Amino acid sequence: MATQTMAAIVPEVGASLPEASFPITRRDLVRYAGAAGDFNEIHWSERHARRAGLPDVVAHGMYTMALAGRVLTDWAGDPAAVREFTVRFASPVVVPDEEPGTTLDVSALIARDLGDGRFRVDLTVTQGAIRVLSRATAVVQLPSCRR
């Protein structure tokens, strides 16, 4: 039996997508560094992060953006449905060395029906009370909603 995503139903402007929380540990940052080829020391060395003026090791910006994007791809049911995705990096995601690390919280709402099955989605991405991404918007194409 196939799983039906929420995207199979025509979404309404103002509706919320399912919220998600993503744990982030230093181990995740090392894995991402290997996959992305971004070995900047601020993402794994407390000494280098502090030398750069940061409070501690910080997550890669693109890793933060990718986690937020999972809310979109999970909702749409297809990564290719995300046609545009833009953000502004507002604050670094500080990842302490202690377990369980930190948590990134993502919520999203359908801001506009652009027609032809395309929807603008606005995301709110926070670490605790701190908004880490601003102006986070995406255009998602839902083939099942084409008119």
Q: What is the pLDDT of residues 43-57, one digit of tens each?
A: 999 999 999 999 999
Cα–Cα distance for residue pair 98/44, rounded to 1 Å: 13
Our CA dihedral for 54, 55, 61, 63, rounded to 10 degrees, sits at 140
Residues 52-70: what's their mean pLDDT? 98
Half-sphere exposure of 66 (CA within 13 A, CB side): 11
Residue 1 has pLDDT above 60, yes or no: no
Whether the per-residue pLDDT at 136 is higher than 60: the answer is yes
Flag whether the pTM goes above 0.85: yes
Helices (H), the chain: 26-36, 46-51, 61-76
What's the whole-number mean pLDDT along residues 69-91? 97
Q: How many CB atoms lie within 10 A of CB 119?
A: 25
